């Protein structure tokens, strides 16, 4: 079964509150990315998209800042940091 | 030019339990204390399962001379025990271990982190700590000798302190930038996803609560070992004030489905579906938990300490980390107080933090790890064994909570001693050592 990131984003659209990130705090190094799609499949917010066989952090405004992508990438191709202070996810009922 | 605007005795990076309880302790002892939080207010980035494990941390707070009335905290509900569900397809068995020790603010109460963390941070501010929010620490200041002398924020501001405490969670900047540890291995980090489902207070009362409104903490096992077929490795349900939170967990190295898939499959289980009937999801979140790494990493350096999830504190059996973070935060503060009094904040002096923590049975979990290995790795056999492992966890959890409550366990020591003969392997060792510990504390 292929995971549908779009459905996931649709589900969480109404459930999260966030201040959009003013900078790209997560990046995929295209040179290192093998196109295994693990970040796409396992991101719990569906933030990644595969474009021409490479991963792109395409939907930053859904990012839950958990770090799963940072640990799941077998090529260590993801450079990961938190968004700027005060930006990003605002959890309620956490 | 970046200017140094202020000097502090101690900076806690992160206003979660380690940073806020630690900051409260440091400020109470007269240290000039700063707590830096990247969220707009404390707790807005944080996720927990069940809330405040008072019974784990009361002794540490007492010994640090911290007097806080937690009955004033934003308590969603008091708990009354643990409820274990064992699934076998459509069938389920429930085991409910009720215990009066849960049912007080110093037992275990349910709380939301956005409210609880803000409340504790406010207590720290009342005792004199400064709280700086909406500020993300991106690096540490290091001198030529490698001593950590403070932090650098995302605004480029350099803030100096004699001791810098990394209380900045699983993806800690302080821990990695100071060189205390590398990024975690995916085999020790769990992705937890949680959904809060609104039901209304009356429905929660009727479905989950005793007449006094207290609720059980609910843990789920699938005895057919279906966790890896789409149910994660662990699942919990938490009854809150007017809602129910559901959460599933999966070790990153074992992940075969998207974390949300595990949660969705869990919520579709007939029994869980029944518990959530008529509910309306109102929030969704994901967070990582580093399991049981404290004793395996370096937690202190020149001018720097790491605490809580930043130091891999969560218990490897059940993933609980609030109490562990609180205890290490307080120990970090006490260590900083002594080091600053002595005028020596080198790693030689700060080492004391690590020694203190490893003497605390809540933090020193060599045996817990053996149990976790045994539980999750060696014991994957037939159904009977699945039930047994669930049952042993059921015994383990109350013992774990109550390790520090010798006054309750001392009278039943003889019975416990007799029960040891039914136990095997590392579990026998844990119970034996627990009994020895209680015995010793009973004498002193």
Angstroms from B221 CA to nearest CA on chain A: 22
| Mutation site for A-interface testing, chosen from B43, B188, B285 by largest number of A Cβ within 10 Å | B285
Q: What is the ipTM of this complex?
A: 0.96
Angstroms from A23 CA to nearest CA on chain B: 11
- pTM of structure: 0.88
Nearest to B282 among A19, A85, A93 (CB): A93
Identify the band that residue B234 occupies on the pLDDT scale cut at 50, 70 and 90.
Answer: confident
Cα–Cα separations (whole angstroms), residue B367 to A15, B251, B284, B328, B361: 40, 20, 34, 19, 10
Provide mean pLDDT across the span B357-375: 73
Contact state of B45 with A89 under an 8 Å Cβ cutoff: yes
Nearest to B47 among A42, A88, A94 (CB): A94
What is the residue-averaged pLDDT of chain B? 85
Contact state of A11 with B114 under an 8 Å Cβ cutoff: no
Contact state of A64 with B153 under an 8 Å Cβ cutoff: no
Nearest to B260 among A16, A44, A67 (CB): A44
User: For B267-283, how does the pLDDT look when each residue is reduced to its tens digit (9 = 90+)?
Assistant: 988 889 999 999 999 99
pLDDT attached to residue B444: 44
Nearest to A84 among B136, B171, B284 (CB): B136
Lowest mean pLDDT among A20-24, B50-54, B368-372: B368-372
pLDDT attached to residue B4: 43
Contact state of A92 with B114 under an 8 Å Cβ cutoff: yes
Provide mean pLDDT across the span A58-87: 97
User: Rounded to an integer, what distance in angstroms lies between the CA atom of residue B297 and that of residue B270?
Assistant: 42
pLDDT attached to residue B373: 64
Angstroms from A26 CA to nearest CA on chain B: 13
User: For B67-97, how does the pLDDT look when each residue is reduced to its tens digit (9 = 90+)?
Assistant: 999 999 999 999 998 887 777 666 666 777 7
Nearest to A91 among B44, B153, B186 (CB): B44
Cα–Cα separations (whole angstroms), residue B97 to B85, B94, B230: 11, 10, 28
Contact state of B255 with A12 under an 8 Å Cβ cutoff: no
Say yes or no to pLDDT of B378 above 90. Answer: no
Angstroms from B11 CA to nearest CA on chain A: 17
Size of interface A-B (CB pairs under 8 A): 124
| Mutation site for B-interface testing, chosen from A44, A72, A73 by largest number of B Cβ within 10 Å | A44
Say yes or no to pLDDT of B426 above 70. Answer: no
Contact state of A93 with B245 under an 8 Å Cβ cutoff: yes
Residue A91: list chain B partners with CB under 8 A: 43-47, 113-114, 283, 285
User: For B92-140, how does the pLDDT look when each residue is reduced to its tens digit (9 = 90+)?
Assistant: 667 777 777 788 999 999 999 999 999 999 999 999 999 999 999 999 9
Angstroms from B40 CA to nearest CA on chain A: 5
Contact state of A86 with B48 under an 8 Å Cβ cutoff: no
* Nearest-10 Cα torsion for B432, B435, B437, B439: -140
pLDDT attached to residue B363: 84
The residue ranking higher by pLDDT, B210 or B375, is B210
């Amino acid at each position: 079964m292929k995971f549908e990131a779009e459905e996931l984003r649709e589900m969480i659209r109404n459930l999260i509150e966030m201040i959009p990130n003013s900078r790209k705090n997560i990046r995929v190094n295209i040179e290192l990315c093998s196109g295994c799609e693990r970040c796409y499949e396992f991101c719990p917010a569906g933030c990644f998209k595969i474009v021409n066989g490479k991963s792109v952090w395409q939907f930053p405004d859904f990012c839950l800042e958990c770090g799963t992508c940072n640990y799941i990438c077998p090529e260590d191709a993801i450079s990961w940091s938190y968004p700027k202070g005060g930006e990003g996810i605002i959890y309620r009922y956490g | 030019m970046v200017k140094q605007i202020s000097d502090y005795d101690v900076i806690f990076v992160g206003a979660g339990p380690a940073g806020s309880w630690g900051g409260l302790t440091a400020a109470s002892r007269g240290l000039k204390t700063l707590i830096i939080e990247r969220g707009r207010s404390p707790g807005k980035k944080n996720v927990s399962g069940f809330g405040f494990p008072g019974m784990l941390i009361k002794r540490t707070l007492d010994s640090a001379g911290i007097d806080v009335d937690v009955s004033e905290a934003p308590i969603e509900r008091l708990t009354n025990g643990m409820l274990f569900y064992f699934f076998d397809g459509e069938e389920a068995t429930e085991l409910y271990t009720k215990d009066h020790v849960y049912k007080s603010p110093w037992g275990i109460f349910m709380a939301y982190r956005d409210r609880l963390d803000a409340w504790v941070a406010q207590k720290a501010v009342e005792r004199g700590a400064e709280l700086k929010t909406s500020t993300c620490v991106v690096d540490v200041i290091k001198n030529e000798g490698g001593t950590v002398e403070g932090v650098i924020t995302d605004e480029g501001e350099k803030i100096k302190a004699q001791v810098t405490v990394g209380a900045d969670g699983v993806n800690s900047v302080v821990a990695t930038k100071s060189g205390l540890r590398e990024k975690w291995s995916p085999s020790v980090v769990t992705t937890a996803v949680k959904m809060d489902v609104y039901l209304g207070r009356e429905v929660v009362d009727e479905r989950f609560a005793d007449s006094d409104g207290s609720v059980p903490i609910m843990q789920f096992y699938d005895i057919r070992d279906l966790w890896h077929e789409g149910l994660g490795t662990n699942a919990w349900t938490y009854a809150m004030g007017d809602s129910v939170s559901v959460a599933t967990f999966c070790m990153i190295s074992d992940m075969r489905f998207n974390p949300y898939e595990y949660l969705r499959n869990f919520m579709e289980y007939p029994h869980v579906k029944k518990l959530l009937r008529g509910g309306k999801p109102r929030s969704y979140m994901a967070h990582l938990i580093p399991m049981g790494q404290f004793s395996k990493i370096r937690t202190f350096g020149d001018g720097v300490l790491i605490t809580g999830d930043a130091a891999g504190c969560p218990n490897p059996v059940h993933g609980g980390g609030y109490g562990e973070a609180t205890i290490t935060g307080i120990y970090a503060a006490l260590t900083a107080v002594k080091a600053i009094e002595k005028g020596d904040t080198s790693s030689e002096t700060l080492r004391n933090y690590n020694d203190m923590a490893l003497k605390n049975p809540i933090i020193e979990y060599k045996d817990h790890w053996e149990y976790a290995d045994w539980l999750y790795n060696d014991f994957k056999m037939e159904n009977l064994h699945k039930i047994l492992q669930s049952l042993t966890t059921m015994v383990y959890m109350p013992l774990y909570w109550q390790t520090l409550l010798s006054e309750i366990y001392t009278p039943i020591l003889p019975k416990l001693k007799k029960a040891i003969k039914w136990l095997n392997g590392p579990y026998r060792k844990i119970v034996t050592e627990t009994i020895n510990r209680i015995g010793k504390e009973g004498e002193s």
